[in-house]
Every structure is written in structure tokens, then in C-alpha cells.
Amino acid sequence: MTGEPSSILVLGGARSGKSRFAEGLALDCVADRHYVATGRAFDDEMRDRIAKHRSDRGDGWTTHEEPIDLVGQLKRIDDPSRVVLVDCLTLWVTNLMLENHDVAARSAELATALPQLTARVILVSNEVGLGIVPENRMAREFRDHAGRLHQQIAARAAEVYFVAAGLPLKMKG
């Protein structure tokens, strides 16, 4: 890895190819690769998804499961020789909401921490604001939290990509 460390935000819809694209960005780095998984396996379907993600990713990654303390985990593994892929921010927001955390404060904490990290950090998230207005309050709050988080991270990221149908569109950088 050369140059100053910087963060990259990769957005896209479900099954858009965003995780695969982000993993490709990480593989392009000559670095020690770390994967921070924010998802929780609450049921068999989610356990299967997590297992498939691990299998598809293959060897060469150190995996950290961290559903809540994302900033703390990033600080613990921060090192200029590393690339860290976080997948995904929307699952992190879900976890924060389910445990009644102050999502706005935690989002601001993450946005503030990113420029201080020495590792290259690639963050994956679902763009959920392109569809219809959700019918219930919690879903609307989730959409709003995710949208504000994406704006904060995008403002600080060196690069931002939007992935649809497996095709990345570079939006910044």
C-alpha cells in the first residue's frame, strides 16, 4: 500500500455486487487484510448468508465480528500495513437501533474516527433511500439514520462508489 491511508465507501442495493467489488478493492492493496463483520446470525438463513460470505471471500483474511463497537474495533486493529473491509454499515445501524443506542452519536463518532485511522478502510453499505417511503416508523427511522450516516462517511471518504448490477460507478475521488 502506498500513499496516505484513506477510506472508501461502497454503496449499492441488495445483491448489487457491492461486497464483491469492495473485496476486489481490498485485494488490490498490498496489505494485511482484515474483515469486520457487523451482521448477526439471528436465524438459519442469516447463518447461511454469513457462511457463504466467508466461503466466497476465501483465505487471506482475518475476520472480526463486531455488531456494536465498530469504532473501538477499528481502533484496535488499526495499522498502516492493513486494509480493513467493514461489511456492512446498514447492519451496524440495525444493531444499534435494536439495542437503543444513540445512532446519530455513534455515526458521528465513526465519521470523526475514520480520518484518524492509519489503515485503509473500505466500508460497505446498502443504499436504502432510493425506494418507496416505508410504511412504519421504525423502517423510516432506519432509512433516515442510514442516509445521514452515508452522507457523513461520503463527506470524509477519499472515494465513493455506487454499485448496481455488479457495475461500479465512481461518484467521488
Buried b (16+ CB within 10 A) or exposed e, 83-92: bbbbbbbbbb
Our answer to whether residue 64 is catalytic in this structure is no
Strands, DSSP E only, in the chain? 7-12, 32-37, 61-65, 82-87, 120-126, 159-164, 167-172
Task: Identify each DSSP E strand in 19-146 by its residue range.
Answer: 32-37, 61-65, 82-87, 120-126
Give me the catalytic one of 53, 101, 145, 150. 53
Other residues' Cβ atoms within 10 Å of the Cβ of residue 151? 11
User: What Å distances lie between residue 57 and 9, 44, 53, 60, CA to CA?
Assistant: 19, 20, 6, 8
Task: Point out the residues that are catalytic.
Answer: 53
